[in-house]
Amino acid sequence: MDKLYSMKSDFENVAKAVEDIKNMRIRGASVIAKYALESIRRDSRKILEKSRNREEFLENFEAIKESLLRTRPTAVALPNALRFIEYRLKLKSRNKNITKNELCDEMISSIDYFLDKIKNSKKEIATAFSKLIKTKVSIMTHCHSSTTVEVIKKINEDRKVKEVYVTETRPLYQGYVTAKKLRESNINVKLIVDSASGMFMKNVDLVLVGADAITLNGDVINKIGTYPIAVVAKEENKNFFVTAESYKIATNAKTGKEIAIEYRSIREVYNGNLGRLGNPEILNPSFDITPAKYITAIITELGAVRGKQPKKIKEILKKAKYV
């Protein structure tokens, strides 16, 4: 980016998005993608003004894309969104007569398309999942997923929610956000510490979580702590569902082992004097991998994947022309 323009001085909305996403002021795969795309849209006029020709417009978009991609390495909603826009721009630029203004129009159009998809997918998933629920259920959820919250709200609107057990989701307590959002809809919420999920598993009918990435074999990468909850659910014969949009499929990852797991600052775990603890090594992975064998089904807006079904995931990808 330095060889062209300063991100902070020229593309201030994108620069702010980079910092907000990196520092987790903005959380959740879909929310991050939406926020990033909106920041590019707000800076679109400046990107156009700072590009002397069509080639420089493409270079500026490439630099912006790379800056945003470096913020959070694990979740794939943002990379898929950016690569979709990049693909549309490159396709358009094959016409040598296309101007930088027309490329800017294409970028805005692609952003709007993806933003609509983000908005509509949640509603489609919520409607599809609610149809699967025939009686009132108790649910356990982990972390904060805007999609999962939308699903639970829809189930509640259909009068099929007894209560929801929400884990705090340490170390940054994203579960507090989920609890607040559900309480705003007058849903009966029981907030529990992460380590109590096994104790209360017997009280629930199913577990429902979101996803930051889905691999081609059906593994799911989600907030740290998801995997042990899935294992306990399997042991207790409880259904473990994932609700996630198709743009969270990592098209270049066959299994969860191929996804880079983000490690964050140790200060999120312990912000005191480490010497008092004997200077232990502190590990702070932000995500873990839940193998497909522990997952009852992944519900997307383009269909459901039950267990390890790579063929079904490929079918969904064929429908998802924007990925």
Homologous superfamily of 7-120:
translation initiation factor eif-2b, domain 1 (1.20.120.420)
Of 43, 212, 219, 288, the catalytic one is 212
- 104 noted as active-site residue: no
Which of these ranges, 25-29, 102-106, 157-161, 266-270, has the smallest mean pLDDT?
25-29
Decide if pLDDT at 259 tops 70: yes
Decide if pLDDT at 307 tops 80: no
> Which string of b and e fits 189-214 if b means at least 16 CB within 10 Å?
bebbebeebeeebeebebbbbbbbbb
Domain 133-319: which CATH class?
Answer: alpha beta
276 vs 280: CA distance, rounded Å = 10
- 212 noted as active-site residue: yes
Q: Which one is predicted more confidently, 306 or 2? A: 306
Q: Which one is predicted more confidently, 151 or 321? A: 151
Q: Which long-range contacts (CB under 8 A, 24 or more apart) does 320-323 make?
A: 320/246, 320/247, 320/249, 322/80, 322/84, 322/113, 322/114, 322/117, 322/247, 323/80, 323/84, 323/246, 323/247, 323/249, 323/251
Q: Where in the chain is the domain with CATH 1.20.120.420?
A: 7-120
Q: Under a CB-based contact definition with an 8 Å cutoff, are residues 246 and 301 in contact?
A: yes
Decide if pLDDT at 133 tops 60: yes
Of 143, 194, 219, 288, the catalytic one is 143
pLDDT band for position 274 (cuts 50, 70, 90):
very high
Residue type, 232: V
- pTM for the predicted model, two decimal places: 0.89
| Closest CA relative to residue 291, chosen from 214, 210, 235 | 214
Q: Mean per-residue pLDDT for 137-142?
A: 98
As a whole number, the mean pLDDT across the chain is 94
Q: Where in the chain is the domain with CATH 3.40.50.10470?
A: 133-319
